[in-house]
Amino acid sequence: MEILTDNDFTEEYRMIGLNIAYYRKLRNLTQMQLAEKIGISRTHISNIEAPNVPTSVSLDVLLKISRVLEISPSNLLNFPI
């Protein structure tokens, strides 16, 4: 049985970050504004959204982001596999 690592999800992390950036911009929020509303640094949001820096995101952060952006968490996870 193969053991999965974070590197196995690089593309998924990239897509989650792009979805966060898309919905954040739809709400006319800056990275700083979103970061302040969910209690993380702007740098962390920037890293999550950066397509060339696959950064994992905790479920807590994902749920906070979806609540601030007024979308279902599934919207952030909606991408082709």
* Sign of the torsion angle spanned by Cα atoms 42, 58, 22, 34: negative
Query: How much is the pLDDT for 18?
Result: 95
pTM of the predicted protein model: 0.91
Q: Which domains does the chain have, with CATH numbers?
A: 7-76 (1.10.260.40)
Query: How much is the pLDDT for 30?
Result: 98
* Sign of the torsion angle spanned by Cα atoms 56, 61, 67, 69: negative
Query: How much is the pLDDT for 49?
Result: 97
Query: How much is the pLDDT for 80?
Result: 72
- pLDDT tens for the chain, residues 1 to 81: 889 887 889 999 999 999 999 999 999 999 999 999 999 999 999 999 999 988 999 999 999 999 999 999 999 999 876
